């Protein structure tokens, strides 16, 4: 197990050797060289006549020493209480696990796997997810707050770990979803399509909330499933400069469809240019409009008509407008959930276009 030597959060600009020796040999952090340098800077500031106090404050937090007085690596640990520089002594026992696993056992999530220099506490990852979900706080603003918590006077001297927070928070959210839905790290069965999303618990589902002999019931309309479909053209997504860096951690495992299968469907689907028979219906008229700067011009989903639950693995991206090939793929994936149910009611505001040329 790693032995963490935590640096105190108190102001150490005026630290001295006498202060450090007051711990009876239990020095939490060797500030002696740093304190001497800072004291020297302070004396130079007092003697200088034309210098400004902003220029004389050294960026000690953004450039911490690599090792403490015991030779242990100094790591940047991000917590709710601020950003800390902590000396870590790794376990060297014969049965010791890798460094990243040692950090996880201590409640610290490594910023990288092979050679971690930055870690995040489990508490701050949970706190950021709640802040992002309930308060709509962006990662950049959240980390700026942590800088202020650490040093309100000099937030610019705090190490910048915004990029690491973005990457780690995505992984942490994925781990949460897998745990909530009963999937371990090395699960015997892989996550199926839509396996990380909750389906409507009230809609009739054979084997889950229907009696064993429900098919013998003469009143079958009670077991009818209802779908409602619609699109959202405000959920746009711009093209990325380096799309290969956008790695999906749960492709097709929640509400969005699997991108590989979806693109294969669009590649073989026949496109017919139609004009809306409805008066000024922009959803269809925009289907023939191409916007080169956007990767997705909107999204479309299928939901439960009775209770409003989105159906897992039915949310698709629009490349132009609300084209029929996009709508077909979402509806087909919704129909795949009708295991044993033969009656379904589909509601759509432009159903006349969806069924154009089809038998009704």
Which pLDDT tens digit goes with each residue over 118-143?
Answer: 999 999 999 999 999 999 999 999 99
**Residue 317 host element (H or E):** strand 316-318
Residues 6+ apart with CB under 8 A from 172: 109, 125, 129
What's the pLDDT band for 240 if we cut at 50, 70, 90? confident
Q: How far, in Å, CA of 43 to CA of 173, rounded? A: 49
Around 281, how many Cα atoms within 13 Å sit in the side-chain half-sphere?
Answer: 17
Helix, strand, coil shares of the chain, percent, nearest 5, are 35, 15, 50
Q: Are 1 and 106 in contact (CB under 8 A)?
A: yes
If you average pLDDT over residues 40-52, what whole number do you get? 42
Please say if the pLDDT value at position 7 is more than 60. no
Give me the pLDDT at residue 41, please.
Answer: 42
Give me the pLDDT at residue 62, please.
Answer: 59
Q: Give the mean pLDDT of the chain.
A: 78
Give me the pLDDT at residue 333, please.
Answer: 92
**Residue 73 host element (H or E):** strand 73-79
If you average pLDDT over residues 76-99, what whole number do you get? 91
Residue 343 CB neighbour total at 10 angstroms: 13
Token duo for residue 141: 């603003």
Q: How far, in Å, CA of 98 to CA of 109, rounded? A: 13
Cβ-based burial of 320 (10 A; exposed 0-12, middle 13-18, buried ≥19): middle
Poorest-pLDDT segment among 8-22, 244-258, 316-330: 8-22
Q: How far, in Å, CA of 164 to CA of 112, rounded? A: 8
Choice between 59 and 270, residue whose per-residue pLDDT is larger:
270
Give me the pLDDT at residue 227, please.
Answer: 93
């Amino acid at each position: 197990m790693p032995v963490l030597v935590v640096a105190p959060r108190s102001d150490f600009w005026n630290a001295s050797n006498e202060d450090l020796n007051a711990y009876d040999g239990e020095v939490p952090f060797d500030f002696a060289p740093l304190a001497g340098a800072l004291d020297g800077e302070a004396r130079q500031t007092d003697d200088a006549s034309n210098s400004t106090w902003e220029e004389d404050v050294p960026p000690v937090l953004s450039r911490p020493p690599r090792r403490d007085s015991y030779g242990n690596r100094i790591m940047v640990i991000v917590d709710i209480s601020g950003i800390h520089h902590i000396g870590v002594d790794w376990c060297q026992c014969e049965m010791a696990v890798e460094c990243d696993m040692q950090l996880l056992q201590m409640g610290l999530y490594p910023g990288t796997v092979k050679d971690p220099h930055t870690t995040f506490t489990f508490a701050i990852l949970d706190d950021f997810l709640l802040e992002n979900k309930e308060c709509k706080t962006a990662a950049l603003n959240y980390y700026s707050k942590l800088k202020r918590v650490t040093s309100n006077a000099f937030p610019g001297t705090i190490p910048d770990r915004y990029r690491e927070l973005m990457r780690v928070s995505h992984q942490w959210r994925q781990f949460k979803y897998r745990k909530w839905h009963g999937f371990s790290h090395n699960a015997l069965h892989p996550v199926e399509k839509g396996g990380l999303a909750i389906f409507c618990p009230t809609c009739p589902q054979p084997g889950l909330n229907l009696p064993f002999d429900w098919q013998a019931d003469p009143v079958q309309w009670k077991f009818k499933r209802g779908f409602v479909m619609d699109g959202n053209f405000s959920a746009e997504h711009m093209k990325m400069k380096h799309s290969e860096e956008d790695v999906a951690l749960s492709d097709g495992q929640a509400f969005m469809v699997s991108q590989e299968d979806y693109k294969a469907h669009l590649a073989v689907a026949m496109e017919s240019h139609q004009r809306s028979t409805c008066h000024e219906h922009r959803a269809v008229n925009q289907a023939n409009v191409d916007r080169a700067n956007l990767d997705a011009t909107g999204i479309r989903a299928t939901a439960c008509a009775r209770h409003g639950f989105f159906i897992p693995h039915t949310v698709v991206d629009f490349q132009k407008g609300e084209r029929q090939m996009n709508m077909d793929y979402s509806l087909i994936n919704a129909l795949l959930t009708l295991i044993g149910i033969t009656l379904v009611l589909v509601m759509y505001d432009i159903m006349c276009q969806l069924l154009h040329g089809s038998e009704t």
